[in-house]
Structure 1
Amino acid sequence: MEFVVCIKQVPSSDKIDINPETGSLVRESTGAKTNPYDLSAIEACLQVREKVGGKIHAISMGPKQAKTALREALALSVDEVFLISDSCFAGSDVLTTSYTLAQAIKTIAKPDIIFCGKQSTDGDTCQVSPELAEFLGIPHALYVVEINDINDEYIVVTCDMGSYRETVKMNFPCLISVEKDSFIPRFSSLRNKIEAQKKPINTIELKDLEDKDKNNYGYCGSPTKVSKIYVPEIKRETTILDGETDEVVDKLFLKLDEWEVL
């Protein structure tokens, strides 16, 4: 069987610069790590491969720095990795990101299952995986917490929908988006980490895709634009009220009235 896992490199800190023109994160301004939800997606895929066999392709869309996340995937025993990187992909919103991933997957393989993490810690939209499935025209299941059954024709999963759980059966090809705490990532050995540094990372650019119109990608192709972005300023003022209890209470009520709280 053929599997594709979508992973993303995200900032390792909440202190990050922002491009004021595009509203996108300046990822070079802080450290980076593999999105925790995507590590769970890798684990879910590894568990499926252990049951039915097959080949795992991991893909990541981003700058050259994202190779670090792909090498982590290689260290976890992913078979082959691809970096989707081109200057015209910069500034993508969730829709163009999903479209770019769909175009890239078509050049790699015809996967039976695509695995995604529920969300990324920098965007938190939870929209890329269902949009990716729609672009590929395949069924999908979100918030997957358990893989109940799998064979050569279909997979059965349990989805946590908040107030209830549902069991979903899907024929291949399909996409599943997994919850982070349900598939705890395994550790890679030192030997595997060393070997991962020697393995190749394939690059996919605009010229490799079926749709080569750059206006359909990146900031140009994104239907949503950030009109304004800023870092919130937290301003606090401290007032100490002295005196006996009754006196302090009176002063407090006067202050609350002054602030129009009452």
Structure 2
Amino acid sequence: MTIEDILDYYEYVKEDLKFQGISSVRIKILISLYEGSKKTKDLRELTGIPASTILHGINELEKQKLISRKGDDFFLSEIGIISTLKLADMIKTRRLLKNTKKLWINHDIRAIPQDLLKKIGDLSNSKLIENKPDDMLKTHRIYLQTVDNSKEIKSVSPIFYSDYSETFKKLLKNNANVELILTEEILKKIIKSLNQQNLSELKRLLSDNKFKIWEIKEDIKVAFTVTDNLMILGLFSTDGIYDPNLILVSDNEDAINWGNKLFDYYQKKSQKINLEYFK
């Protein structure tokens, strides 16, 4: 994510930050200096703020030891780097919550570990896909479309759709690398949905290590998929029922990395399935 992106995000959430008493000018100066030193004219071009206002803001930031200067160049101090890192994360988080509020209100987030909740701003450029009265399968259809051409798929699923088996069979035929973490209940449902031929094929793939499945004993309340170019996240309502009407989708590198970390978290809590499982 570039400085320009974060500055644009700030424009979107600045009233929220102003409510907390943070100066707009000082925020923009700090963010603009995050990737390296700049002169007054550089700051003016990045922020669109008059030079005289920038210099006043710089003086205030210097008093707080957040920035320093060397000749005509201004740069963040060590304290400034730490402060700005958190500031940028707060801006990204505010943007995410503002754009995708429906997903988080009255939905269970306890399945997301604290360290990843702290980095939830990494999902800031995600899109919220929502079912409509005239298209109640929109989220499911988009999910299938987005994973259809992927080469790497990692998925955690405590939910079951009858066409999942066909989808993953197609992916495997296209030589995709598929890794699934399934709850005990969902794993049994998927196996039950397979005919004898498909079950034999599943065993062959598992033995060849071309298809990897982990079983998790926990009753997890999050469903998500990470591919080589996409992250998709769905949540359960606070009443414990999965909400199929809303999914978060992002092709941003930060979001994909976030999703991979979430997958790793659940993989460590799961047991890999091998042929012994079927005996």
TM-score calculated relative to the size of structure 1: 0.24
As a proportion of its length, which structure holds more helix? 2
As a proportion of its length, which structure holds more strand? 1
* Higher RCO by CA contacts (8 Å cutoff, separation 6 or greater): 1
